[in-house]
Structure 1
Amino acid sequence: MTPHLPHRLWLAAMPLLFVALWSTGFIGAKFGLPYAEPFTFLFIRFVLTLALLVPLAHWLSGEWPRGARLWGHIAVSGLLVHGAYLGGVFYGIYLGMPAGLASLLVGLQPLLTAGLAGPLLGERLATRQWLGLALGLIGVALVLGGKLDPGEALFQGFGLGALGAVLVALLGISGGTLYQKRYCTGMPLLSGTVVQYLAAAAALGLGALLVESREVEWSTTFALTLGWLVLVLSISAILLLMALIRRGEASRVASLFYLVPPVTALQAWWLFDEALPPISLAGMAIAIAGVVLVVRTPATAGRPRT
C-alpha cells in the first residue's frame, strides 16, 4: 500500500499543477515584453518550441494527422487558439493591461464558448449556464469599472487598444475551441500541436515582419523568461495535459481553469505590485462564479439537439 501513496498523490496533484503552470504564462509575458515586441517575442518562442516538440512528437507518438484536409483544419485552429489568443494577450499586456485583468478577461472563454455553442453546434444552455453568463458580464463590468480613469487613457494604465487586443484573444480562444471541437476530432494531440504552432508561428512571424522592428534586447531576464515559456508552458504543460487526458482527467482540468485568474492576479500583485481596487476584486469573484456555473453543469445539460 505504501509504495502506491506517492503515485496517488501525484495523480491528485496533476490537475492543480497544470493550472499553476498555465497561470504563469501571463506573468511570463509581463517579464519578457520589455525586451521584445509581442509578435517577435512569440515568434521566437514558437520556433524554439517547435525545435523541441517535433522530435518529441516523433519519439513519443509517431502519429501525424492524416490527410491535407485535417492538416488545414488543425492549422486554422492553431491560428485561433495560439496565434489570435497569445498574440492578443501579449499585445494587450504590451499596451499596459495588467496581467491579472488580461487573465480574467480571457478566462471568460467558457462563457463565450457556451453562448456560441447553441447557434454553432446546436447545444442547449441550462438555466444555471444562462445565470453564469449574466454573472460573468456583471463581473467584468465591475472589474473594468474599478479600473476606469477619468483622464484620457479611459482605464488606469491602458486604453481601448489593450482592451481590444485582449478581446481578440478571447474571441480567438473561444472560436478556436469550437472550431477544433467540430473539425479536428481526429487530431493526434502532440503532433497536432506541432501543426498548430507552425501555423501560429507563420502568422506571428509575418506580423512581426510587417508592423514591428524585430529588435530584441537579449538579457538574462529575457532568456530565463523565454526558457520558462518554452520548456514549462509550451512543452511540459502540453505533456502534462496529454497525461491527464489519457487518465480521463481532462474534465477535471477544465473545471479548475477558473482558478487561473485569481492565481495570476496574486502572482502579479506579488511580482509587479499590480493591485485591483475592492470593486474589481468583487467583480473578479462574481465573474469566476459565473464561469463555475457554466462549466459545472449536470451531465444532461448541453447535449446537442436531435
Structure 2
Amino acid sequence: MRSNGRRAHRGHPSPGKHRVTQTSPTLARPAGRLWLGFACGAGAALIWGVQAVVSRQSVADGLTAADVSILRFLAAGLVLLPFALRRLRPFPVGRLGWKRALILTALIGPFYSAILVGGAHFAPALHSSVISPGLIPVCTALFAWWVFGEKPGPGRLAGLGVIVLGVALFSLEALGSAPARPGAWIGDLLFVSIAVLWASFGLLARRWGADAIEVTMATCLLSVPLLPVMALLMPVNLAHVAWPAIVLQALYQGVIVGAAALFLYAQAIALLGAGRAALFLPLVPGVTALSGFLLLGERASMTEIAGMALAIAGMVIALRSRSVA
C-alpha cells in the first residue's frame, strides 16, 4: 500500500479510491478556471492593443511624450502605493534590492515611456503594436544566445525568422518614405529601440527571479522622483491642454495599463501557465488595427496588413515552439 500511495503522489494513481481522491480536487473547477484565464488574457491583450491608439490620441490633443510619461507614472504610483506599502519589504524596492530595482527602472521607467509615446508622434498606432511586440521575442532570443548561450530550437528559430520578415515588410513603406507615411520611419526606429529595452528588461528580470507585480510596483514608485528631471530636459505642455485629454492619459496609461493590465496578465499566467498566457500577445496588433480604424480613422495599407499577418504568424509559431534546442 505504501508503494501504491507513493506512485499516486507522483502522478500515477492506482485504481480505486486513490484515483478518485487524487483527481477530484483538480477536476473540481477546470472549466471555470480555464475560461477565467482566457478572459484575463484577452482583457490584457485588449488593454495593450488600445494603448497605442490612446498614445496616438495624445498627439492630437497637444500632449508631449514627457506629458504622457509624467501622467502615467504619477497615476500608477498613486494607485500602487497602498499595495506597495503592504507588500514591498524594504520599501520601495522589495526583494529586488536597490541596485537591481534601479537598473530595471532605467530600462522601463519614464524615459522608456517617453520613447514609446514619442514614436506615436511620427508613426500610426498600428506600427507600435506590430514592431515592438514582434521584435521583443527576436531581441530576447538574440540576447539569450549571446549572454547565456541559449540556442533557440528549430521551431522557434523559424518563427523568429517569419517575424523579422513580417516586420520588414510591414515597415517597407515607412522606411521607403512613402508619401502616405511621411516621417514614420523615425517612429519605427523608436519602436525598435523599445523592443531592445524590453527584451533586456525581461532577461534581467528572469535571471533575478523577479516577481512581476513587485517589479511593477518598484519601477513605478522609483520613476516618480525622476519625473522632475524629465520635465527639465523635455518639453512639457500640460498647462495648455484640456482637462479631458489629461484625465484620459492618466487613467488609461497609469491606472488601466500600469495596474489593471498587469493584474490581468498575472492572473492569466497563474490560471493557464506562462506558455498559454503568452499566446494572447499576438492579439495586440489586431486590436490596435481595429481600434485605430474605428477611433482614429487610421487605415493600414495592403503591404502593412500583409506584414502584420506574417509577424503575428511568426509570434504564434515562436511562442508554441521550444525555446532551446
TM bracket (short chain): 0.7 to 0.9
Aligned to 1:195: 218
Alignment of 1:64-103 (within 5 A): 64=90, 65=93, 70-94=97-121, 96-103=122-129
Q: Does 2:161 match 1:134? A: yes
Q: Does 2:204 match 1:179? A: yes
Q: Could you tell me how far 1:258 is from its partner in structure 2?
A: 1.3
Q: Could you tell me how far 1:192 is from its partner in structure 2?
A: 2.8
Mark the CA change 1:56 to 1:197 in structure 2 (over 3 Å): closer, same or farther: same
- What is the CA–CA distance in structure 1 between the aligned matches of 2:267 and 2:226, rounded to whole Å? 29
Deviations 1:98-127, CA, capped at 9 Å, x for gaps = 010111110121122112211112211112
Q: Could you tell me how far 1:231 is from its partner in structure 2?
A: 2.3
Q: Secondary structure at the match of 1:124?
A: coil
Q: Does 2:35 match 1:9? A: yes
Does structure 2 retain, via aligned residues, the 8 Å contact 1:106–1:166? yes
Mark the CA change 1:148 to 1:53 in structure 2 (over 3 Å): closer, same or farther: same
TM-score, normalised via structure 1 length: 0.84
Which of 131, 140, 147 is 1:105 aligned to?
131
- What is the CA–CA distance in structure 2 between the aligned matches of 1:105 and 1:156, rounded to whole Å? 15
Deviations 1:109-164, CA, capped at 9 Å, x for gaps = 1122112211112211112222222222211221112345657x7x7132443233
Q: Does 2:270 match 1:243? A: no
- What is the CA–CA distance in structure 1 between the aligned matches of 2:85 and 2:266, rounded to whole Å? 15
Which of 239, 242, 264 is 2:288 aligned to?
264
In structure 1, give the amino acid aligned to 2:300. L
Mark the CA change 1:277 to 1:8 in structure 2 (over 3 Å): closer, same or farther: closer
Q: Does 2:188 match 1:166? A: no
Q: Could you tell me how far 1:267 is from its partner in structure 2?
A: 0.9
Aligned to 2:48: 22
In structure 1, give the amino acid aligned to 2:55. A
Q: Does 2:307 match 1:280? A: no
Does structure 2 retain, via aligned residues, the 8 Å contact 1:111–1:132? no
TM-score, normalised via structure 2 length: 0.80
In the alignment, structure 2 segments of 5+ residues that lack a partner are 1-26
The higher relative CO (CA closer than 8 Å, separation ≥ 6) is in: 1
- What is the CA–CA distance in structure 2 between the aligned matches of 1:10 and 1:23, rounded to whole Å? 20
Which of 97, 113, 123 is 2:150 aligned to?
123
Q: Could you tell me how far 1:91 is from its partner in structure 2?
A: 0.5
Q: Could you tell me how far 1:274 is from its partner in structure 2?
A: 1.2
- What is the CA–CA distance in structure 2 between the aligned matches of 1:193 and 1:41, rounded to whole Å? 18
- What is the CA–CA distance in structure 2 between the aligned matches of 1:162 and 1:62, rounded to whole Å? 36
Q: Secondary structure at the match of 1:78?
A: helix
- What is the CA–CA distance in structure 2 between the aligned matches of 1:138 and 1:223, rounded to whole Å? 39
Aligned to 2:83: 56
Mark the CA change 1:122 to 1:44 in structure 2 (over 3 Å): closer, same or farther: same
Mark the CA change 1:205 to 1:163 in structure 2 (over 3 Å): closer, same or farther: farther
- What is the CA–CA distance in structure 2 between the aligned matches of 1:181 and 1:205, rounded to whole Å? 30
Does structure 1 retain, via aligned residues, the 8 Å contact 2:131–2:192? yes
Q: Secondary structure at the match of 1:257?
A: coil
What CA RMSD, in Å, does the superposition of the two structures yield over aligned residues? 2.8
In structure 2, give the amino acid aligned to 1:275. R
Q: Could you tell me how far 1:5 is from its partner in structure 2?
A: 7.0
Rg larger for: 2
Mark the CA change 1:206 to 1:62 in structure 2 (over 3 Å): closer, same or farther: closer
Mark the CA change 1:165 to 1:12 in structure 2 (over 3 Å): closer, same or farther: closer
- What is the CA–CA distance in structure 1 between the aligned matches of 2:133 and 2:30, rounded to whole Å? 35
Aligned to 1:156: 181
Mark the CA change 1:212 to 1:56 in structure 2 (over 3 Å): closer, same or farther: same
Aligned to 2:233: 210
- What is the CA–CA distance in structure 2 between the aligned matches of 1:251 and 1:5, rounded to whole Å? 18
In structure 1, give the amino acid aligned to 2:273. E
Percent identity over paired residues: 21
Does structure 1 retain, via aligned residues, the 8 Å contact 2:278–2:319? yes
Q: Could you tell me how far 1:55 is from its partner in structure 2?
A: 0.1
Q: Does 2:64 match 1:37? A: yes
Number of residue pairs the alignment of both structures matches: 294
In structure 1, give the amino acid aligned to 2:213. L
